[in-house]
Structure 1
Amino acid sequence: MNKVDCVCAVGAQLGEGPLWSAPEQAVWFVDIKGRQIHRFDTRGSVLNSWAAPEEVGFVVKAPHGRFIAGMKSGLYSFDPVSGGFNSIARVDSDKPRNRLNDGYVDSAGRLWFGSMDNAESQPTGSLYRFDKRGLRRCDEQYVITNGPTASPDGRTLYHVDTLERVIYAFDLHDGELSNRRIFTRIEKPDAYPDGPAVDAEGCVWIGLFGGWAVQRFAPTGELLQTIEMPVANCTKVAFGGNDLRTLYITTAWKGLSKEQLATQPLAGGLFATRVGTPGVAPNEVRYDG
């Protein structure tokens, strides 16, 4: 049994996108519905927060100590020193109900992210790639997108269709995707796959929204491990610590009734547990803007 601790009881309505920053020994993450970017300093257990002008789905590392934030209307440069946001690229401007929902930077510095229907009902979401060549739609017809993430060798990209309870795998070569196939389906009752992350052995970790757990799958799609959680809505994991063996888990209280929330007072907190296999350090976007 993995011992799971709430390291930061931030109470995020929809916590998402944990990101380990080794120089700071800190975890960055967002509260999408709360329009907050959070930084949790693991050395002193100090939480700093920045208000975002829109719902913010993710932050990823960018050059010069900045970040790229995926928000409702598109991609923005975020400077934590000034707290300022500057627009980089509009996304789905013809679909005003959409917002951005999860992001990942591959080893070549390409940003992959998804858009989704904010009402969670229409298949208006897409999977995008953003790099020095610009913005490109790579797949579409999603209601709720999550991920993506990529295998350690950079040859496979994983992407989640949450409502269909499916994780897809694509062949990834020089930034191009092909051969979409089902990697695995989530079988746990009432559980929906949320954000994925990959460890050093190429296994895929999935947060289960409504599933009270995080699960680890082999590169073949076989379920290897389930870590039970004290809250229902687990959204995504990130590997941190000096050995990348501390698993940080964002959670949410979104969708819980007052009665359910009363039995889950730590819902929306940032959790941590130790795991046997290290993760892969996050990459920085190669972006000249």
Structure 2
Amino acid sequence: MSAPAYEVAVRAEATLGEGPTWDAATGRLLWLDILGSRVHTYDPATGRRTVRSTEQHVGAVKPRAGGGLVLNLRDGVGLLDADGTFRWLYHEPVPGRRANDAAVAPDGALWAGTMRYDEAPGGGTLSRLTGDGTAEVVLDDVAVSNGTGWSPDGRLMYYIDSPTRRVDVFSYADGRVDDRRPFTRIEEGAGFPDGLTVDADGCVWVALWDGGAVRRYTPDGRLDRVITLPTPRVTACAFGGPDLTDLYVTTARVGLTAPHPTAGSLLVVPGAGKGLPQPAFQG
């Protein structure tokens, strides 16, 4: 159950740090501050960092197959070209609603989540978007759409609606999901499941909001590792580095009256496991 100690990769004071994603094409880690409307990059080889402001709250950022980024924004999904040009791929403003976590499926489609600012039950969605801007709402009764990921063979999709305290699993094929069932439940007092990632062994790593930890569950849903972190609001995790063995973890300061010095920083657990290469968005 023990795990390697964490390090501070980027000391920051992100209000709501989220969405770590390894961009293999550029050799850098993407992450963001949702409420700070900022997209960050970090190159672990050189230590170089960049920060780009967005005009809206940004829930997720992922690399695109042809270069540039796709952004899950408050009012829809946008494309940012390598030269900085921005355009909407899908634009659907809904008062009181914002983007949250997103993930790229094995077929290159973006599964983008939303939630209401007041976290009202049923106010959020999970949608599948293709590169031509076609959007299909897959789940329309969500409170806080969060972590999404796929098994190594692409036959299972894991998903978190945080207030349920569950990680659910679907059967997945050809961009479709069915047979939703619980994969694991987070007990009272341990926090709420937030972001997730799946490793090369098919284990599911879950960040715990107000739980101060990342947990790893085996493919049969058994808890087998806990990484304890010093700040309670742990938001998401992803493997990165050239060999995908370092676990990057984002954290948040929002709502903390006396935040730990690492709250809002990007943390890393070197040699935590072995991640899966992540597909880029085909758009």
TM-score by length of 1: 0.93
Query: Is residue 120 of structure 2 the alignment partner of residue 121 of structure 1?
Result: yes
Question: Is 1:220 matched with 2:211?
Answer: no
Deviation track 1:40-83 (CA, whole Å, cap 9, x = no partner) reads 1112212200000100000111133211100000000013542x
RMSD (CA atoms): 1.4
User: What are the within-5 Å matches in structure 2 for residues 67-216 of structure 1?
Assistant: 67-82=69-84, 84-91=85-92, 93=93, 95-132=94-131, 134-187=134-187, 189-216=189-216
Matched, 1:9 2:5: no
| Structure 1 gaps, min length 5 | none
Residue 132 of structure 1, CA deviation: 4.7
Structure 2 gaps of 5+ residues are: none
Residue 25 of structure 1: aligned partner: 27
State the Cα distance separating 1:276 from its structure 2 match. Answer: 4.8
**1:151 Cα deviation after fit:** 0.7
The equivalent residue for 1:282 is: 278
Given that 2:246 and 2:273 are in contact with CA atoms closer than 8 Å, whether structure 1 keeps it comes out as no
CA 44–276 in structure 1, closer or farther in 2 if over 3 Å, else same: closer
Structure 1 runs of 4+ aligned residues shifted over 3 Å read none
Distance 1:276 1:51 in 2: 31
CA drift at 1:241: 1.4
Matched residue SS, 1:163 = helix
Distance of aligned partners of 1:41 and 1:188 in 2 relative to their CA distance in 1, 3 Å threshold: farther
Work out whether residues 113 and 124 of structure 2, in 8 Å CA contact, stay in contact via their aligned partners in 1.
yes
Residue 250 of structure 2 aligns to a residue in which SS?
strand
State whether residues 15 and 252 of structure 2, in contact with CA within 8 Å, keep that contact through their aligned partners in structure 1.
yes
Task: Give the match for residue 229 of structure 1.
Answer: 229
Answering whether residue 49 of structure 2 is matched by residue 47 of structure 1, we say: yes
TM-score by length of 2: 0.95
Please, which moves more after superposition, 187-196 or 229-238? Answer: 187-196
Q: Contact 1:201 / 1:277 at 8 angstroms: preserved in 2? A: no
Matched, 1:270 2:266: yes
Amino acid at match of 1:102: D
In the aligned structure 1, how far is the partner of 2:255 from the partner of 2:77? 27
SS in 1 for 2:29: strand
> Cα distance, 1:224 vs. partner?
1.1
Deviates further, 128-137 or 168-177: 128-137
Task: Report the Cα offset of residue 33 of structure 1.
Answer: 0.2
Query: In structure 2, what residue type is equivalent to 1:137?
Result: V
Alignment CA distance shift 1:278-1:190 (3 Å)? closer
How far is 1:124 from its partner? 1.0
Q: CA deviation at 1:190?
A: 4.6
* Counterpart residue type for residue 87 of structure 1: W
* Structure-2 separation of matches of 1:111 and 1:29: 17
Identity value in percent: 33
Q: Any conservation in 1 of the 2:4–2:272 contact (CA below 8 Å)?
A: no
Paired residues in the alignment total 280
One-letter code aligned to 2:97? N
Query: For the residues of structure 2 that align with 1:12 and 1:107, how far apart are their CA atoms?
Result: 30
Deviations 1:227-255 (A, max 9, x none): 00011111111111122110000111111
| Aligned-partner Cα distance in 2 for 1:77–1:150 | 23
Matches within 5 A, 1:240-251: 240-251=240-251
For residues 47-66 of structure 1, the aligned pairs below 5 Å read: 47-66=49-68
**Equivalent-residue separation in structure 2 for 1:213 and 1:71 (angstroms):** 27
> 1:130 corresponds to which letter in structure 2?
L
